[in-house]
A = this chain, B = another copy of it.
Amino acid sequence: MRLYTFERSYRLFEEATQYVPGGIYGPRTPHFLTFGSYPAFISRGEGCRIWDVDGNEYIDYMCSFGTNLLGLRHPKIEEAARRQQERGDCFTLPSDLWVPLAKRLVGTIEKMGWCVFGKNGSDVTSYAITVARAATGKKTILVARGAYHGSHFWCQTYGQGVPEEWKSHIHFFEYNDPEDLRRVVDEQRGDIAGAILTPHRHDVLRDQELPTESFVRTVNTLARKEGFLVVIDDIRCGFRLDMRGSAHFYGYDADLNCFGKAMANGYPIAAAMGRPELKSAAEQVFFTGTHFFSGVPFAATLATLDEIEASGAIERIRDLGTRLMEGLREAAAGQRVEVRLSGPPAMPFMTFADDQGFDKSRFFCGEAAKRGIFFHPHHNWFVCAALTEEDIARTLEVAEECFKLTRRQFGG
């Protein structure tokens, strides 16, 4: 096949550097991927496929960083959004979908009694730790080292311009390490408001880790014993693993849950939810934003939740992801390339042995991109329900070729 080239992407990127700091900022910058082997701009999408500005077509395993669960431009979601758009989106007051969506989420997510809506994941993780503080009267928030909870000041680990005081009262522990969690709890005893955790470990630039039973038990037990709250940041995993929430899936006894990404299949909305007994504390927390109340993402969320359930999408992406992970393992083994596949099948990740600097990953993913498969070398991938068996087969064909090239480039 003809390998893809990216002239227009890089011409536009060059132009973008004149008008935007870095050209594109955050994890979408081409520098974060493999500069020169990836597109920089997308012109359209449909189902599990995206087309870049050079006209190249990809099977997309990033799913817009997880928002796309049912397929881009899913007819039922688009129809629901369009119907609301015809009545209007952003009003001075909430739309009439306010109560139906709140009720629906409370009826869906285990143990949660109420919810609030924001736009970004960061909006709701910041809100949730504030509710934990308002409820306990304590200040310390425990965070797993390397976990991503958004771009607000308290959880920034990259970047300049943030005073240290604006990250104070955050104390770190090692994910999946009950001893280290006990250590930080001992050190901070008496001032712990909550621990915020992703359901499993899905930090960039490392294999994913599912939580061990003993870790989950330790989190639950310590929280109850010490009186701090468990905040599950389910923004990346939510609705991919279990309709009742990933806290339920892994066994966390969550007090607060944060959702976003997949909940509206691409429409901008995020939600924080809490146990009924935290509602009065939540009422003391200030939370608002111009577009938090817009109706279209509410309509999209209701339709997305319905369609995930009705179509069995969670089982489907689990099965598709399993097929992908197994196929990649086989294809790598066939080319005598050592890889590690990690994470739940709905959001797998792959790394190479002896690849500290991720050079093999970048090479492999760049070669795959040139052949129409959109993986990411540093960030976990996502599987959407619009993929077919044929898409997976095509993906594995390309992967086999790319493993061969990787072996040729880096040796066995």
Contacts and interface: CB of A to CB of B under 8 A. Distances in A.
A247 B98 CA distance: 37
A68 to B, nearest CB: 7
Interface stretch (A99-107, A176-184, A202-210): A99-107
B268 A93 contact: no
23 contacts: A19-B106, A20-B102, A20-B115, A21-B285, A28-B94, A41-B95, A41-B98, A42-B96, A50-B92, A60-B92, A67-B90, A67-B291, A120-B292, A122-B289, A126-B153, A129-B161, A133-B160, A134-B160, A156-B286, A160-B285, A161-B285, A268-B290, A268-B291
Contacts of A91: 42, 45, 50, 64, 72
A318 interface: no
Stoichiometry, copies per complex? 2
Interface stretch (A163-171, A213-221, A326-334, A393-401): A163-171
Interface in A62-95: 62-68, 72-73, 78, 85-95
Given A42-B95, A168-B165, A120 B290 contact: yes
A151 B24 contact: no
A20 B134 CA distance: 16
A88 B45 contact: yes
Contact of A133 (B40, B161, B285): B161
A277 interface: no
Contact of A169 (B18, B159, B163, B288): B163
A114 B290 contact: no
Contacts of A160: 130, 133-134, 281, 284-285
Contacts of A42: 88, 91-96
Contacts of A92: 28, 42, 50, 60, 62-65, 374
Given A12-B99, A139-B163, A169-B163, A67 B290 contact: yes
A371 interface: no
A31 B268 CA distance: 27
Contact of A94 (B15, B24, B93, B287): B24
Interface of A: 12, 15-16, 18-22, 24-28, 39-46, 50, 52-53, 60, 62-68, 72-73, 78, 85-96, 98-99, 102-103, 106, 113-116, 119-123, 126, 129-134, 139, 150-154, 156, 158-163, 165-166, 168-169, 235, 260-261, 266-268, 279-294, 374
Nearest to A9: B93
Contacts of A44: 87-88
A161 B19 contact: no
A25 B120 contact: no
B73 A88 contact: yes
A49 B244 CA distance: 40
